[in-house]
Chain A
Amino acid sequence: MKVDQIVLNAILQRYFAWCLPIAVAMFLTSCSERPWNDPQLPSPDGLATYQSMIMSTPPKHLDPAISYASDESLFTMQIYEPPLTYHFLKRPYELIPGALVSLPKVAYLDSSGRVVEEDDDAVAFTRYTLRLRDDLHYQPHPAFALDASGQPEYLFETAAAGRRYRQIPDFPRMGDRPVHANDYVYAIKRLADPVIGSPMLGLMSQYIVGMKEFSKEVAALPRDPWLNLDNYTMEGLEVVDERTLTITIIGRYPQFLFWLAMPFFSPVGPEVDRFYHNPGFIDRNLTLDWWPVGSGPFLMARNDPNSEIILERNPNYRDDFFPSEGEPGDLEAGFLADAGKRIPFLDRAVYRLEKESLSQWTKFLQGYYDRSGEVHSQPAGLFDHAFQIGANGVELAPELKEHNITMSPDVQPAVYYYGFNMRDPVVGGYSEKKRKLRRALQIAFRTEDYLNIFYMGNGIVAENPIPPGIPGHLEGEPGMNPYVYDWVDGAAQRKPVEYARQLLAEAGYPNGRDEVTGKPLKIFLDVQSQAISNTLMTWMVRAFSQIGVQVEFRPADFNRTREKMLTGNTQIFSFGWLADYPDPENFLFLLYGPEGPLECDCDGVNNGNYANEEYDSLFRQMRILPQGPERDELVARMVELLRYDAVWLFAYYPTEIFLNNSWVHNNKRHGISRATLKYVRVEPEERLKMQNRWNEPITRPLYAVALILVALALPGVLAYRRRQKATARCLQE
């Protein structure tokens, strides 16, 4: 053997010898019944597991007093059980008892505490009496574990004593107990504790009697390390007995019931709060914000927000059954197939963190995710991949049809809009000329085209601030904005551009030029940088150029845009509002005068500073009225005022289409509530079958790559051998 071959062999042995055993080991370990590209860990045998994803960022807060974002309620609403909840199937959205036996009993009180009639002018307070179900029980948790003497098992004097526990499953002993009325009271007291920093403190302290004072009182108290809020009383809260509590609020606020369906009002056991205040726990992220403890259908089994969150069935969950009635069409759509069956159907739910839409979408198509998304704002790319425009409008792409994927359309209870600053000297004001100017701009901006081009038609043109599914939203001709549309042949048709030009001329801008100075009319749009693209800006410029109006964009980040709105330094701004609860009040207050930032000198939501005395007066009346024809009339009048004053440039209700693999059932989307996991049913065997069928690896490219490498290396090896054998003369030649 020649010297160079010996050296070559030595190099090969040194550098490549370890490759073969590793490759063999990898091959052998991959020879399982699971596909090679399966990104999920196998589920424990026999457990019905739901496979899903969290998009972009993990939830920040899971403490019910702090958590507010929709991606957080995806978890909190499965773990906690607030007093009220929403009917899964019925629309318009309907409140039903959750942890309660029935809806709260409401009593109206005068200033001396005597019960009076609802419509009595003397009403000073409203008292809600909440009666809990008898079968409410907390999940197993170490906070409830007791030692032989009946004292909490896990209370430590020092951080060192509890150092070995890093996660909740590390605790060997668990305990549980029934839910008491006091736990709800304790939870409301936590909302008032300024140290916790609940976003509800500002709003609720305007209503719940004594909350403001309670907040001030506990703010000054020492905490070493824990402050037992049970030792302090809040005037508006009373524990009547173990199953009953009352909440007294100032005045009349019928919308308070909706707040009782949010996680803020979920029970928190004082011992749970005490447990999480053990010394050193916070340094290991052992907090209520990370490991929620509830009485809902699921419990937190693993919380690694960097990669996955796993929920498991709460073995102590109360009796709960799939609803037996829904809205018209639900029976035909198969949503009542499980009527009357005990829920939840799932044993586990695994949510993996996904940051990129390509991965998310691919895994969904490969069958590794059961549904295409959980919360709103699915990646725009999804629509390019999933849909095509067919004879019947938006249709599923053929690839998806082959997979028997189903669609779940969902109209969000939200409105996105571009509003006018009514205090702006150019577009603001309440004179007829200013109204005509704004209407001209409204007509010129074809919202229908905007939605079709930039959102693949996923959005509905909003002709009033109240989205579908919420009382006050009207369809058809009664729901049309007559200042922008005409009713033609049974459909709303946008008024022609010529009419917009005429309005503009009447407003003092013939052909888009100021009739006094002759200068062209230029409007300024404040937008968030990340929400606008060059294509969109070009399109908008062209839309307004039809009537001779020039546009200048002022993109900025969220905080700068918000600052401009708060100080009134904006002309036209973009904004969006996702409903907290399905009531027109939650949308109409976006234009309530006292909510204007310049009016209240606060962070009000009436960013356009719209001020109309009649509107404000109607709003105050409407706010305290119960649902009914009288209220509907007020709402209709308020909507008419908004249309007449042309307060928004354009608006739309965002819609989304979620996709479901064929083995997932009960996929009806609920725009308001996220407490829907308990209704979902999966067929794991079918999923495994499909995953194997769709993910057979294609190994030919591996051989092709090997051949290419050999083909590339061969000339090199030959040339090397030739060179080694060459004589000095050959090399010179």
Chain B
Amino acid sequence: MLIYIIRRLFYAIPILLGVNLLTFTLFFVVNSPDDMAVSQLGAKYVTPEAIHSWKEKNGYDRPLFYNPDAAGSDALTETIFFSKSLRLFAFDFGRSESGRDITTDISTRMWPSLAVAVPSFVVGIWVNICVALLVVMFHATRLDRWIVFVFVAMMSISYLFYIIGGQYLVAKTWRLVPISGFHAQGQFWKFLILPVLVGVVAGIGAGARWYRTLFLEEANQDYVRTARAKGASEIRILFRHILPNALIPILTGIVVLIPSLFMGGLLIESFFGIPGLGSYMLDAIKSQDFAIVRSMVFIGSILYIIGLILTDISYTWADPRLRLD
């Protein structure tokens, strides 16, 4: 397994390089270093000297990919791409365009992201699996059809509706929890109730419907009929027989997401005022802060690759017949 993991990590290098190149190209197709300077300097009294000075100070006064004025390998290294994007491989994220240290920001902001994402993720999966198993129990009944209808309706509703509806009802009208905000100290949990609730409820439709499909496939297998014939109760059949056998596709969907929980959620963090990495990314996009965008995309790519490797490892745990070679 170790050799397999090492091989996968080596595969990750060209992937990360490609992602970096793509992010860099896409960003500079839309923005020039001059645009970035103007965005940072403001709209007033921006002289060409100020723009030049900003570019020089922040290292954007070089060519993008190839420096014809430099000799030898410097032609490639004395470029924006090399100096800005490739140093990410050394986990040197540098400073944002407004001068803040990105590593410090990320290490500070990942905790609020995790505080919301982990409970939403765990409770969401738990609720979805339970609901899906219960629905499977009533397969091919009128109740089943109605519930599937409700699932489809729930997954058709925009995520924004759940957020705004939740805020309006629970926080504004019923005044049960704060409408938004986050404090690391004190009663921090009361800021998490609503975003977690919204995250879980909004995910039930799609999640439970998908799990239902997976469980139904297993429910028609011979071993289930055998268990039933032996007198096992429905609950025992669902939780002890069907669930473990349906784990492979479930793990495929969820393990890959676990590392990405650090990254937080763009919408939920923005609407609930959670100072996490999701809103960090959103703010960076809005303010054309390429330093933050490229760092976040790089970290996101790494976490996704780790997620894929973890998924493979989890298969061996869920199904002992599998071996990673």
Residues on A facing B (Cβ under 8 Å): 2-4, 7-8, 11, 15, 26, 29-30, 35-39, 41, 57, 60-61, 68-69, 194-195, 197, 199-203, 282-285, 287, 289-290, 304, 306-307, 352-356, 358-359, 362-363, 366, 558-559, 562, 580, 602-603, 695-699, 701-702, 715-716, 719-720, 723-724
In this complex, the member of B46, B104, B272, B273 whose beta carbon has the largest number of chain A beta carbons within 10 angstroms is: B273
Q: Within 8 Å of chain A (Cβ to Cβ): is B156?
A: no
In the bound assembly, the distance between CA atoms of A580 and B45 in angstroms comes to: 11
Asked, given contacts A39-B178, A69-B42, A720-B137, whether A285 binds B234 with beta carbons under 8 Å apart, the answer is no
List of 8 A-B pairs having minimum Cβ-Cβ separation, nearest first: A4-B233, A306-B275, A39-B178, A202-B47, A359-B180, A39-B181, A559-B35, A60-B98
Interface-facing stretch out of B72-80, B168-176, B206-214, B300-308: B168-176
B38–A354 touching, CB < 8 Å: no
Q: Within 8 Å of chain A (Cβ to Cβ): is B143?
A: yes
A37–B234 touching, CB < 8 Å: no
In this complex, the member of A2, A7, A195, A701 whose beta carbon has the largest number of chain B beta carbons within 10 angstroms is: A7
B181–A57 touching, CB < 8 Å: no
Contact with A38, one of B32, B126, B130, B178 (Cβ below 8 angstroms): B178
Nearest chain B CB to A598 CB, angstrom units: 15
B190–A30 touching, CB < 8 Å: yes
Contact with B179, one of A362, A719, A723 (Cβ below 8 angstroms): A362
Contact with B45, one of A200, A290, A353, A362 (Cβ below 8 angstroms): A200
In the bound assembly, the distance between CA atoms of A195 and B180 in angstroms comes to: 39
In the bound assembly, the distance between CA atoms of A7 and B35 in angstroms comes to: 65
Nearest chain B CB to A305 CB, angstrom units: 8
Q: Within 8 Å of chain A (Cβ to Cβ): is B316?
A: no
B233–A716 touching, CB < 8 Å: no
Query: Which residues from chain B contact A558 at a C-beta distance below 8 Å?
Result: 39
Query: Which residues from chain B contact A61 at a C-beta distance below 8 Å?
Result: 98-99
Q: Mark B152-195, 1 if CB is under 8 A from A, else 0.
A: 00000000000010011101111111111111011101110000
Asked, given contacts A356-B271, A719-B138, whether A203 binds B31 with beta carbons under 8 Å apart, the answer is no
B49–A202 touching, CB < 8 Å: yes
CB contact list, B80-107 vs A, under 8 A: 95, 98-101, 103-105
Contact with B182, one of A26, A307, A602 (Cβ below 8 angstroms): A307
Query: Which residues from chain B contact A356 at a C-beta distance below 8 Å?
Result: 180, 270-271, 273
In the bound assembly, the distance between CA atoms of A200 and B103 in angstroms comes to: 30
A362–B50 touching, CB < 8 Å: no
- Beyond A37-B178, A699-B174, 18 extra complex contacts between A and B, CB < 8 Å: A4-B234, A4-B236, A15-B130, A30-B187, A30-B190, A36-B177, A39-B178, A39-B191, A285-B100, A285-B101, A307-B181, A307-B182, A355-B279, A356-B180, A366-B175, A603-B47, A697-B176, A698-B176
A602–B283 touching, CB < 8 Å: no
> Across the two chains, which residue of chain B brings its CB closest to A601?
B48
In the bound assembly, the distance between CA atoms of A342 and B73 in angstroms comes to: 67
B179–A199 touching, CB < 8 Å: no
In the bound assembly, the distance between CA atoms of A723 and B143 in angstroms comes to: 14
In this complex, the member of A306, A352, A366 whose beta carbon has the largest number of chain B beta carbons within 10 angstroms is: A306
CB contact list, B229-269 vs A, under 8 A: 233-236, 239
Can you give 19 A-B contacts (C-beta < 8 A)?
A4-B234, A194-B53, A202-B49, A202-B50, A282-B101, A306-B279, A307-B181, A307-B273, A353-B275, A354-B273, A358-B164, A358-B179, A363-B179, A366-B175, A558-B39, A602-B48, A715-B143, A723-B137, A724-B234
> Across the two chains, which residue of chain B brings its CB closest to A713?
B134
> Across the two chains, which residue of chain A brings its CB closest to B282?
A355
In the bound assembly, the distance between CA atoms of A699 and B182 in angstroms comes to: 23
Nearest chain A CB to B99 CB, angstrom units: 6
Nearest chain B CB to A28 CB, angstrom units: 11
Nearest chain A CB to B90 CB, angstrom units: 15
In the bound assembly, the distance between CA atoms of A284 and B99 in angstroms comes to: 11
Q: Within 8 Å of chain A (Cβ to Cβ): is B25?
A: no
A7–B57 touching, CB < 8 Å: no
> Across the two chains, which residue of chain A brings its CB closest to B31?
A559
B233–A562 touching, CB < 8 Å: no
Nearest chain B CB to A659 CB, angstrom units: 17
Q: Within 8 Å of chain A (Cβ to Cβ): is B286?
A: yes
Contact with B44, one of A2, A199, A282 (Cβ below 8 angstroms): A199
B233–A29 touching, CB < 8 Å: no
B38–A562 touching, CB < 8 Å: yes
Q: Within 8 Å of chain A (Cβ to Cβ): is B294?
A: no
> Across the two chains, which residue of chain A brings its CB closest to B286?
A57
Nearest chain A CB to B24 CB, angstrom units: 18
A307–B38 touching, CB < 8 Å: no
In the bound assembly, the distance between CA atoms of A15 and B271 in angstroms comes to: 31
Nearest chain A CB to B226 CB, angstrom units: 15
Nearest chain B CB to A357 CB, angstrom units: 11
Contact with B235, one of A11, A353, A603 (Cβ below 8 angstroms): A11
